[in-house]
Chains A and B, each alone.
Chain A
């Protein structure tokens, strides 16, 4: 019962503190960002500006190829601006690119120099070979240069890899998992940082406020245990995390996530993060002293984001950072037919690890009540 009373008191106190509303407010801001700013899928179409300086027969063939690739198989006449001048152009939109056929070299120079966009001068040499001259900005990778080369060769009808690429079969290892949209793919990052990991910093803030007011000492001379005090704080943090997570997920994902698994994971990962926060705070008198360690923890926890958005960079050492597991678990939770076994194992891991750290933190707090 004492634990319950402490929990209710902490809930009451946190509802009167700024941190509580900052967390909820941040969740609303993230939700608004996802709803109104982030598109379902990022438009990855590149814009390309071409000037076809070719014999009419070849130019017609080039145009025909572009039309075949165009989504509505028609060229659109448009006016586009560069260097404060208006130029006429033919516009083609394929699945991968938005292509503007410019009328002359003057227009091409204007876009290349003023708008700083990649432009291509397609012409023939003395041997009647089609030459693509690329005007790039200098920072493009070799991979991009190669891709552009292949793309335009294909338009000219010299594609030697088309048959090969058409015959490649791509088979997903988890065929029953639906791929997340770009917007959905961002949600695990928000849930990890605004939910689970924020617990680490918010509990540190709560504890330092109490240390400042001497509350812990007053609690320590009651017939209630120090761990009641600590666990009641963690309880409030977890309740807040659940609320902020639901604020973000329900309006966007509806019934898609596995909510029981989500709640379980927030409880265990939040317990782990908050226990870690408690352990860190037990060494320091105020947040200024603890800031160095908290800063290092923030930087380490951010690392797995790089791996999350760049799957080709996934070294083993990143996988042991807790936020890596949190990101992957939230991804599985919100995916249709996600890997719930992974989430359950991760939850168990965080629960065991969190309990160990909590015991250590409790021991530290009992030793440092007068700090």
Chain B
């Protein structure tokens, strides 16, 4: 659904590239996470894919359209949820969606259904300018679904939302993905990426350092250990056992059999730890 080949972009029109030789593909029905710290080139790449920035160098294909010669029809197939809410503040939530649905040539969703989906029902007739930051964000998110997009670009979709709303938004993303929507997720939140993405790309200083599935990355970079806490003769003991060394595996089984087990965790690396290990950089 998305093919990017040797993409470069410079804001100063010189060789100081904000995006430097970036190549990747996103398959149909996939949730692809684009992860990196601020200024890494995530937004620049996403803006090029959505036509907000003009393509300077490289080949980009989105939903079968060449982004070099962007056509309005392409936007019937894509949806874009911005990190910064950008709705008409003098129009109500419902009026915002009613207006945007008229700008597409394809069958659109019922605005009230979307309003309900993001939990804004009952507030649909209030001017968006009077919405809280989180409500505006949800309205922006809802608007990005109005045209039933085949490819859905999500820029920090849960930033600034309280945990329960963020959880609902994640459920909506999963639900849409189940229907076959391809999702390009830009975020610096590794937990969301870990939970939602089929594959992730780490981008730093305009260059992609790694592309893989979170599961594979954890296997590759995580330590193969189990941390155990158990009581022996009234004393709490903490021990770590390897899950690959036979002798330690036997010990672990023995500990489980003979003692009162309190906690037991496999010691997986988080995506954030892997990111730091791979790129040598934090995510802020």
Q: Which residues of A contact B (CB under 8 A)?
A: 1-2, 5-6, 9, 12-13, 16-17, 213-215, 217-225, 366-367, 369-370
Contact = CB atoms under 8 A, between A and B. Distances in A.
A369 B103 contact: no
Nearest to B100: A222
Interface in B58-90: 72-73, 75-76, 78-80, 82, 84-90
A221 B51 contact: yes
Contacts of B53: 369-370
Contacts of A223: 72-73, 75-76, 103-106, 147
A62 B224 CA distance: 124
B173 interface: no
Contacts of B99: 5, 9
Summarize B's interface: helix, strand, loop or mixed.
loop
Contacts of A225: 72
Contacts of B140: 218
B259 to A, nearest CB: 59
A17 B90 CA distance: 8
A5 B102 CA distance: 7
Q: Quick one: which of B73, B88, B103, B143 has the most chain A CB within 10 A?
A: B103
Interface residues of B, number: 32
B50 A221 contact: yes
A221 B88 contact: no
Contacts of B87: 213, 215, 218
A221 B152 CA distance: 11
Nearest to B146: A222
B47 interface: yes
Interface of B: 47, 50-54, 72-73, 75-76, 78-80, 82, 84-91, 99-100, 102-106, 140, 143, 147
Contacts of A17: 90
B260 to A, nearest CB: 58
B103 A222 contact: yes
Given A366-B54, A370-B47, A370-B53, 9 more contacts: A17-B90, A213-B88, A215-B86, A218-B140, A221-B50, A222-B104, A223-B72, A223-B147, A224-B103
Contacts of A215: 86-88
B86 A214 contact: yes
Interface centre among A1, A214, A219, A223 (most CB of B within 10 A): A223
A5 B91 CA distance: 14
Given A13-B91, A223-B73, A223-B76, A217 B105 contact: no
A220 B51 contact: yes
A344 B189 CA distance: 61
A213 B128 CA distance: 11
A214 B91 CA distance: 15
B89 to A, nearest CB: 6
A224 B82 contact: no
Nearest to A225: B72
30 contacts: A2-B102, A5-B103, A9-B91, A12-B91, A13-B91, A213-B88, A213-B89, A214-B82, A214-B84, A215-B86, A215-B88, A217-B82, A217-B86, A218-B80, A218-B82, A218-B86, A218-B87, A219-B103, A221-B50, A222-B75, A222-B104, A223-B76, A223-B103, A223-B104, A224-B103, A225-B72, A366-B54, A367-B54, A369-B53, A370-B53
